[in-house]
Structure 1
């Protein structure tokens, strides 16, 4: 494990066992958690994007606020639902954000997870999907987004403005941002497609497959197939791979509360989501030595270079910084991590993704 960050689902409003903050408080908490994580040396602050739900829906204002008040931490998403996006406008926003952040942006995009709305992307004006889940629309938007991010011309110039046949790129352009785009994949087949596209892999918090294998083993196979497809497509460089886990180190007596809050997730689970039989990863709760052993035995955690801790953001700033601080102090160093003192991850060597001795 070379890097770790947090992944916030950004829940707010009433519901669940713990009363949640309102939308304003959830946004301010997100900024404060990211600032505290930056001070701890955590590598990344990432946010889920959902529509028609009491969660974060428009990430750019939030990421801009975080970028403006932090120094080193990578800021990004996991994931932006491309069914709902104007790809060229998103490319403009992403480039501007990356320039403000001095190259600290890492955007995860994908088809997105199931939403409360029935074909909600159509309410945003995006019609024509043949797939009932909108996967074809998401990939069409992604292709146009990546063409713009890479700086190519995407529209014809007006006659007489720049010469016959001129094609105009989006502005601004942020060099290097294309290398920091991730696609969130929930299956082995999608992971292979991601490798062919030459972008980074953000392996989902669940897999829309159930083979009987442990979640970590199934995800490790997904990562292996992705890397093989990336190489077979002729892409150069070392792509980044992230996985997400819920990890709660128990360091003090007060931390015991997480045993009660997360008692039901100590094992992988099988369920139906979006019409697919799916595998849901377990929750890790325990004392640091036990967590270190368990995470070392998680094949996907040790294969990926980046671990994203899914945090209970609705519990507030202090509780979440305690989780991150305990992980950074008592668990992560044993997995090969060192505090971030220089800035975002730029490349990952082969040695960085192997299990520490």
Structure 2
């Protein structure tokens, strides 16, 4: 592990529920990212969900963080392509990458189960499959073509152009263009096959918080196999750069009486197999909560954590900035160095742009 960051699901309270509302949650996310930047945390990443009181439409938040920090990478885990206009998304991604001097890691995927039935249709998009997987794939391919600078429209007849810039029929790309942006795009893979497809596509791998393989093996072992298959497929595809791989875990260092009171009972002894409502079983990861020396050994025994170069810590964002910053500080101070962590303010890690 060379880099670590935090992954926030962006939960907020609605109605008479206790907890921060949507505005407070966004401002707290900004404050946490700014504080994390000061202690060398490498990344601030945010889940994206629709029709739920969680984070959505992340670009304003990512832009605010990028504009008020120096080193920290900003990103998503993940944007649901079923809900996106791929060309508009390409424009936003390029603009953000330029503003952030390359400090972005945009995770995208088909998306996960949600409260709405075929919710993307309410956003104006039609899919052939109930899951929307076909549409998500087509949009992702169009998005990649757009960020790579290929023409995606055709210049109008000269008399219809304003301003008059192109020969009629010329293929037109979207603007702005950010060279090399594809190297900052990640596919959120929940299976071996989608990880291999990400390698063929030439994008980084963001291994999901759960995987569709459920044979009784640990999440770490399943993801380690997924990562190995991804890297083999990458080598076979012959891409000319080294990709990054991330995994996410819930990790709570117990360093004092307060952290013991808050998180001491959170630890789970093993991963779990369950369902997200789509029929097939999935494997969920365990929660790590222990003293630093125990956590170090546990994480060293997690094959996927040691195989990946980036670890995302899922944080309980509803508990506020101070509690979540204490988790990051404890991990940075007592656990991460033993796992090979390189803070963001000590220069770039190979394949890891920090601006």
TM above 0.5: yes
Counterpart-to-counterpart distance in 1, 2:105 and 2:258:
34
The partner residue of 1:326 within 305, 325, 330 is 330
Q: Does residue 1:32 correspond to 2:31, yes or no?
A: yes
Match of 1:140 in 2: 138
C-alpha RMSD of matched pairs (Å): 1.5
The residue that corresponds to 2:282 in the other structure is 278
Distance 2:114 2:265 in 1: 25
1:240 maps to: 244
Q: Matched residues in 2 for 1:142 and 1:94: separation?
A: 13
Aligned to 1:6: 6
1:298 CA drift (Å) = 0.3
| Aligned-residue offset at 1:150 | 0.9
Q: Residue in 2 aligned with 1:269?
A: 272
Q: Residues 144-180 of structure 1: CA distance to partner in whole angstroms, max 9, x if unpaired?
A: 1111111111111112351244111111111221111
| Structure 1 residue 340 displacement after superposition | 1.4
User: Is the partner of 1:172 in helix, strand or coil?
Assistant: coil
Shift of 1:342: 4.9
For the residues of structure 2 that align with 1:22 and 1:88, how far apart are their CA atoms?
Answer: 31
Asked if 1:110 corresponds to 2:114, the answer is: no
Q: Distance in 2 between matches of 1:280 and 1:30?
A: 25
Match in the other structure for 2:119: 120
Contact kept, 8 Å, 1:72 with 1:344, in 2: the verdict is: no
Give the TM-score normalised by the residue count of structure 1.
Answer: 0.93
Partners of 1:344 and 1:311 in 2: CA distance: 25
The C-alpha deviation readout for 1:283-331, integer Å capped at 9, x for no partner, is 1100000000000000000000000000001100000000000000000
* Correspondences of 1:174-253 after superposition (within 5 Å): 174-253=178-257
Q: 1:28 to 1:343 in 2, by over 3 A?
A: farther
User: Can you list the C-alpha shifts for 1:82-132, whole angstroms capped at 9, x where unaligned?
Assistant: 0000000011111111111111111000011111100000000000x2221
1:262 is paired with a residue whose SS is coil
Distance in 1 of aligned mates of 2:66 and 2:21: 23
Q: Which has the higher mean CA deviation after the structures are superposed, 93-102 or 54-63? A: 93-102
For the Cα contact (< 8 Å) 1:42–1:73, is it kept in 2? yes
The residue aligned with 1:149 is 147
Size of the alignment, in residue pairs? 344
Question: Contact conserved, 1:72 with 1:343, CA < 8 A, in 2?
Answer: no
> What secondary structure does 2:344 align onto?
coil
> Which stretch shifts more, 265-274 or 142-151?
265-274
Distance 1:344 1:12 in 2: 34
Question: How do 1:2-81 and structure 2 match up within 5 A?
Answer: 2-13=2-13, 19-81=18-80
Aligned-partner Cα distance in 2 for 1:276–1:207: 11
Q: Can you list the C-alpha shifts for 1:202-261, whole angstroms capped at 9, x where unaligned?
A: 000000120111110011000000111111122122110000000000001000134356
Name 2:82's counterpart in structure 1. Answer: 83
Gaps of at least 5 residues in structure 1 are 349-357
